[in-house]
Structure 1
Amino acid sequence: MTDDTWAALVEAEDSYGEGAETHALARAAAARQQGDEKQAHIWAAAANELHILHNINKQWAKPRARPFGAHRPSA
Protein backbone atom coordinates (compact mmCIF):
# COMPACT_ATOMS: atom_id res chain seq x y z
CA MET A 1 0.00 0.00 0.00
CA THR A 2 1.35 3.41 -0.92
CA ASP A 3 1.57 6.31 1.49
CA ASP A 4 -1.08 8.13 -0.59
CA THR A 5 -3.48 5.19 -0.35
CA TRP A 6 -2.87 4.90 3.40
CA ALA A 7 -3.56 8.63 3.85
CA ALA A 8 -6.80 8.35 1.86
CA LEU A 9 -7.86 5.28 3.85
CA VAL A 10 -7.23 6.98 7.21
CA GLU A 11 -8.97 10.18 6.09
CA ALA A 12 -12.05 8.27 4.97
CA GLU A 13 -12.16 6.00 8.02
CA ASP A 14 -11.73 8.88 10.47
CA SER A 15 -14.43 10.96 8.80
CA TYR A 16 -16.95 8.36 7.65
CA GLY A 17 -16.45 5.18 9.72
CA GLU A 18 -18.57 2.37 8.25
CA GLY A 19 -19.40 4.66 5.30
CA ALA A 20 -15.72 5.11 4.46
CA GLU A 21 -15.70 2.60 1.62
CA THR A 22 -18.68 4.28 -0.05
CA HIS A 23 -17.01 7.67 0.38
CA ALA A 24 -13.76 6.40 -1.13
CA LEU A 25 -15.61 4.92 -4.10
CA ALA A 26 -17.39 8.24 -4.65
CA ARG A 27 -14.07 10.10 -4.52
CA ALA A 28 -12.61 7.64 -7.04
CA ALA A 29 -15.56 8.15 -9.39
CA ALA A 30 -15.35 11.94 -9.07
CA ALA A 31 -11.62 11.91 -9.78
CA ARG A 32 -12.19 9.66 -12.80
CA GLN A 33 -14.84 12.07 -14.13
CA GLN A 34 -12.37 14.93 -13.77
CA GLY A 35 -9.73 12.95 -15.64
CA ASP A 36 -7.46 12.57 -12.59
CA GLU A 37 -6.53 8.91 -12.94
CA LYS A 38 -3.85 9.09 -10.22
CA GLN A 39 -6.37 10.22 -7.59
CA ALA A 40 -8.96 7.78 -8.94
CA HIS A 41 -6.49 4.94 -8.48
CA ILE A 42 -5.57 6.07 -4.95
CA TRP A 43 -9.21 6.29 -3.84
CA ALA A 44 -10.18 3.02 -5.51
CA ALA A 45 -7.29 1.27 -3.75
CA ALA A 46 -8.33 2.85 -0.44
CA ALA A 47 -11.91 1.65 -1.00
CA ASN A 48 -10.64 -1.87 -1.64
CA GLU A 49 -8.58 -1.87 1.56
CA LEU A 50 -11.51 -0.47 3.55
CA HIS A 51 -13.74 -3.21 2.18
CA ILE A 52 -11.27 -5.83 3.37
CA LEU A 53 -10.88 -4.21 6.81
CA HIS A 54 -14.61 -3.86 7.35
CA ASN A 55 -15.22 -7.47 6.34
CA ILE A 56 -12.58 -8.62 8.82
CA ASN A 57 -14.18 -6.49 11.51
CA LYS A 58 -17.65 -7.93 10.81
CA GLN A 59 -16.26 -11.44 11.00
CA TRP A 60 -14.52 -11.01 14.36
CA ALA A 61 -16.44 -8.26 16.14
CA LYS A 62 -18.83 -9.50 18.77
CA PRO A 63 -22.27 -7.87 18.64
CA ARG A 64 -23.20 -6.09 21.82
CA ALA A 65 -26.71 -5.89 23.20
CA ARG A 66 -25.73 -2.70 25.02
CA PRO A 67 -22.98 -1.00 22.99
CA PHE A 68 -22.36 1.64 25.65
CA GLY A 69 -22.36 -0.80 28.54
CA ALA A 70 -24.39 0.40 31.47
CA HIS A 71 -23.89 4.03 30.47
CA ARG A 72 -25.91 6.09 28.08
CA PRO A 73 -23.96 8.36 25.72
CA SER A 74 -23.96 11.99 26.75
CA ALA A 75 -25.64 14.49 24.47
Structure 2
Amino acid sequence: MLTSDTWAALVEAEDGYGEGAEAHALAMAAAARSQGDEKQAHIWAAAADELHILHNINKQWAKPRDRPFGAHRPAA
Protein backbone atom coordinates (compact mmCIF):
# COMPACT_ATOMS: atom_id res chain seq x y z
CA MET A 1 0.00 0.00 0.00
CA LEU A 2 1.33 3.42 -0.97
CA THR A 3 1.63 6.09 1.65
CA SER A 4 0.42 9.58 0.78
CA ASP A 5 4.05 10.77 0.81
CA THR A 6 5.10 8.08 -1.66
CA TRP A 7 2.08 8.79 -3.86
CA ALA A 8 2.95 12.52 -3.88
CA ALA A 9 6.56 11.75 -4.86
CA LEU A 10 5.39 9.36 -7.58
CA VAL A 11 3.01 11.93 -9.09
CA GLU A 12 5.61 14.70 -8.86
CA ALA A 13 8.18 12.58 -10.67
CA GLU A 14 5.75 11.32 -13.31
CA ASP A 15 4.35 14.78 -14.03
CA GLY A 16 7.77 16.36 -14.27
CA TYR A 17 9.82 13.63 -15.92
CA GLY A 18 7.51 11.18 -17.70
CA GLU A 19 9.51 8.17 -18.83
CA GLY A 20 12.50 9.50 -16.88
CA ALA A 21 10.49 9.56 -13.64
CA GLU A 22 12.01 6.38 -12.23
CA ALA A 23 15.55 7.65 -12.78
CA HIS A 24 14.61 10.98 -11.21
CA ALA A 25 13.11 9.25 -8.17
CA LEU A 26 16.25 7.13 -7.78
CA ALA A 27 18.41 10.26 -7.98
CA MET A 28 16.24 11.97 -5.37
CA ALA A 29 16.58 8.91 -3.11
CA ALA A 30 20.35 8.95 -3.51
CA ALA A 31 20.52 12.68 -2.80
CA ALA A 32 18.38 12.33 0.32
CA ARG A 33 20.49 9.39 1.48
CA SER A 34 23.70 11.37 0.99
CA GLN A 35 22.24 14.16 3.11
CA GLY A 36 21.32 11.69 5.84
CA ASP A 37 17.57 12.00 5.31
CA GLU A 38 16.57 8.35 5.40
CA LYS A 39 12.84 9.12 5.55
CA GLN A 40 12.93 11.01 2.24
CA ALA A 41 15.30 8.43 0.77
CA HIS A 42 12.80 5.69 1.61
CA ILE A 43 9.89 7.67 0.13
CA TRP A 44 11.72 8.32 -3.14
CA ALA A 45 13.00 4.74 -3.39
CA ALA A 46 9.46 3.43 -2.90
CA ALA A 47 8.20 5.86 -5.56
CA ALA A 48 10.92 4.61 -7.94
CA ASP A 49 9.84 1.01 -7.33
CA GLU A 50 6.21 1.85 -8.12
CA LEU A 51 7.19 3.84 -11.21
CA HIS A 52 9.23 0.89 -12.44
CA ILE A 53 6.17 -1.35 -12.15
CA LEU A 54 3.87 1.18 -13.82
CA HIS A 55 6.23 1.81 -16.72
CA ASN A 56 6.70 -1.91 -17.30
CA ILE A 57 2.93 -2.39 -17.40
CA ASN A 58 2.64 0.50 -19.83
CA LYS A 59 5.33 -0.94 -22.13
CA GLN A 60 3.55 -4.28 -22.15
CA TRP A 61 0.12 -2.92 -23.06
CA ALA A 62 0.73 0.33 -24.91
CA LYS A 63 0.31 0.13 -28.65
CA PRO A 64 3.00 1.86 -30.70
CA ARG A 65 1.77 4.60 -33.00
CA ASP A 66 2.98 5.30 -36.51
CA ARG A 67 1.92 8.92 -36.11
CA PRO A 68 1.93 10.66 -32.74
CA PHE A 69 -1.43 12.30 -33.47
CA GLY A 70 -3.15 9.20 -34.84
CA ALA A 71 -4.56 9.50 -38.35
CA HIS A 72 -4.97 13.26 -38.07
CA ARG A 73 -2.59 15.34 -40.12
CA PRO A 74 -2.32 19.02 -39.28
CA ALA A 75 -3.50 21.40 -42.00
CA ALA A 76 -0.66 22.84 -44.06
**Unpaired segments ≥5 residues, structure 1:** none
The separation in 1 between residues aligned to 2:12 and 2:69, in whole angstroms, is 25
Residue correspondences, number: 72
Letter in 1 for 2:53: I
How does the TM-score come out when normalised to structure 1? 0.93
TM-score, normalised relative to structure 2: 0.91
Structure ID, larger Rg:
2
For 2:64, what is the secondary structure of its paired residue? coil
Which AA in structure 1 matches 2:73? Answer: H
Poorly superposed stretches of 4+, deviation over 3 Å? none
Superposition RMSD in Å: 0.8
Over the matched positions of the two proteins, sequence identity in percent amounts to: 85
Give 1:1-75 correspondences, 5 Å limit.
1-69=2-70, 70-72=72-74
